[in-house]
Structure 1
């Protein structure tokens, strides 16, 4: 009985973490859903009052990349749990790949038909295709592979920085020698600079399409999805996800991610993570501010993965330390319901934002809200969906999309209503 209670507590910890991540990711997604594209590079476009300053800095120091990172870690933990379950004579490989195929299908529908090109389900499904062969590796090997993947991304970023510095140096040498803008070295640097500036024409197209009809919105969002889902983009983001999934699988096997370690260990990890991650995030953000949000060679190309990993692990440590107390379980326990319905909650966020709040055929708020206002809306959505999830799970065994996903995975319709 003691082991059963401990297992249930470990699963609850994962549900709480997943709920925080799936609601927290909306704090970032809502910017892409409700603002013009230029806001991604220059947040001042949407308004830059005191509240916007505070929200932006909070986002940069504590949120950017961490909710996606946390979801990826939890995907890895879920992979370990799934791979260890009895199969009743069925092939673990076939079940697993049916599950990933269904996730890819969900991602395509979510990204194209439901109008969220920033979808992560497709990325997770693709990354998950490469995860299965590592299922029996020990924790240390999985953690090493995950860190190795992150190191590869850091190296790619460093190579990009070197390329940018070389491009600038060649252009400066050409200008010093009297070359004009027609010189290919100068032109290459001008193109490099143009890539970091807001595209005002893209912003205008965004406003026109999003304030238009359903057909206008669908055509616009599908075009973006096609652009983002190219080979280069899918490869990069799949590597990003796979590295964190492997790390999450290893951390779960090591006992860290499930909440089984002493509270003081989690607190020390949280302190160490924030001590490393927050200063890195601050340096990256300060460079942006000092350069007027137009940095041709950002330090984040090298430091981003390090900072977001450290901050993500710090969040995990803080949450799991809090869950080791009675009061902490009472407070954070509210996130377990959306965590259990993470897929339905994630798509629900899109339906509210992309089909109700922002398009012209509904409330038409696209391009009309500041960063601070977008966070207020995201928090309101979180409250509504959390309440809905708690109500739903009081009547049904699982969320509607979780139910469909399980059906597609196992080929058998699971029980839905609570008896």
Structure 2
């Protein structure tokens, strides 16, 4: 590998490390609190501190780290295909095996531990975007924009349906079915009743096998086919990552300037959206519209801002902390799934059962502890082993044989 190639991979590892650490800032809410708390900081009771934390997460992190991870995944698809070409192997066969193995891991993650999984989306979408691998950067970027537009239209249609459900339920003389349907949605995205919260807690207090069976029963094929809007957005980010890599934009001298411009446009727009949520008292329909639909465009801009600004830092940083971030990025899959294992053991009934008992400030402290562990164990593991444990499992599944793990 050339020095330039090694520096490029080191930069991507550092970006991936930041992304997997940043994702935990949002996932911790899903691990520890009822569903409505993700959208509504007042869902468990009014708290100025919770509102401030929610706003900071929404503006700076929510969807941006996931988008950054998807951008890098798209770049990884190209790098893996190029490596297969150099070996004389069939890139399509290798890619199909990797996505099939990732899908299996994602489905186990979704049904076995946590329904907030992103790996199934990456596997399904990754199969499709591979078909555009030969396309030039402009075509890839146009396809990415089309995917984002499709995601916006899909989410806007959902919001329109949601508004109709609420209107039907609140109309004088509304029947019991209409009111029950709105109560169900309202408990998910806005204001859960004490009974709803108790039901969620009871679900999380199940033993592992009972919870697994309940997720199979309640979610059906959602782990594979659910949330079309999210899949379209993931496709947009993957295609955009492929376009950026093919055009060589990450190492462009103007990359930092582009990142600054993207932040200058995306940040005020996202702050305005957050203000709308505050001003509307976190109305469930309005907040869902902001988080799911209207934030897509500024979310793309802020994801690009993170990408370009961090790329310049990653290419120059040589300090020990940066090296640890790169190691965490090389083990991003192990750190992502490891966080789920640790925190579901902390919050769910098969572990310590702390679900719903800790507030957002305490959750932030737990994230800091988790980051410290990631930055400690990732380089320690890689000093003895070639790959992270889940990365090794993934590659061995794709190769259909046990690959060497320990370093000679």
Other-structure match for 1:102: 101
Q: Which runs of 5+ in 2 are unaligned?
A: none
Calculate the TM-score normalised by the size of structure 1: 0.86
Structure-to-structure mapping, 1:139-154, within 5 angstroms: 139-154=137-152
The structure having more radius of gyration, on CA atoms, is: 1
User: In the superposition, relative to structure 1, how do residues 223 and 346 fare at CA in structure 2: closer, same or farther (>3 Å)?
Assistant: farther
Contact 1:38 / 1:203 at 8 angstroms: preserved in 2? no
Q: In the aligned structure 1, how far is the partner of 2:160 from the partner of 2:201? A: 36
User: In the superposition, relative to structure 1, how do residues 171 and 95 fare at CA in structure 2: closer, same or farther (>3 Å)?
Assistant: closer
Q: In the aligned structure 1, how far is the partner of 2:35 from the partner of 2:192? A: 8
Segment drifting more, 142-151 vs 50-59: 50-59
Structure-to-structure mapping, 1:70-81, within 5 angstroms: 70-81=68-79
- Structure 2 counterpart of 1:229, from 211, 223, 230: 223
Q: Deviations over 1:280-301 (max 9, x none)?
A: 2112221221222124245525
Other-structure match for 1:26: 24
Structure-to-structure mapping, 1:6-155, within 5 angstroms: 6-46=4-44, 49-87=47-85, 88-113=87-112, 115-155=113-153
Segment drifting more, 408-417 vs 146-155: 408-417
Contact 1:117 / 1:228 at 8 angstroms: preserved in 2? no
Other-structure match for 1:360: 349
Pairwise CA distance, 1:366: 0.8
Q: Superposition RMSD on alpha carbons, in Å?
A: 2.9
Q: Deviations over 1:98-133 (max 9, x none)?
A: 1110000000111112x1111111111111111221
Q: In the aligned structure 2, how far is the partner of 1:194 from the partner of 1:417? A: 51
Residue 213 in structure 1 maps to residue 204 in structure 2: no
* Equivalenced residues, count: 402
Q: In the aligned structure 2, how far is the partner of 1:333 from the partner of 1:199? A: 44
Q: In the aligned structure 1, how far is the partner of 2:43 from the partner of 2:370? A: 24
Q: In the aligned structure 2, how far is the partner of 1:192 from the partner of 1:416? A: 48
Q: Deviations over 1:160-205 (max 9, x none)?
A: 5666778889999xx7xxxx32489x97997798475323233211
User: In the superposition, relative to structure 1, how do residues 326 and 229 fare at CA in structure 2: closer, same or farther (>3 Å)?
Assistant: closer
Structure-to-structure mapping, 1:367-386, within 5 angstroms: 367-386=356-375
SS at structure 1 position matched to 2:220: helix
Q: In the aligned structure 1, how far is the partner of 2:127 from the partner of 2:278? A: 39
Contact 1:395 / 1:418 at 8 angstroms: preserved in 2? yes
Pairwise CA distance, 1:60: 1.2
Contact 2:148 / 2:236 at 8 angstroms: preserved in 1? yes
User: In the superposition, relative to structure 1, how do residues 222 and 9 fare at CA in structure 2: closer, same or farther (>3 Å)?
Assistant: same
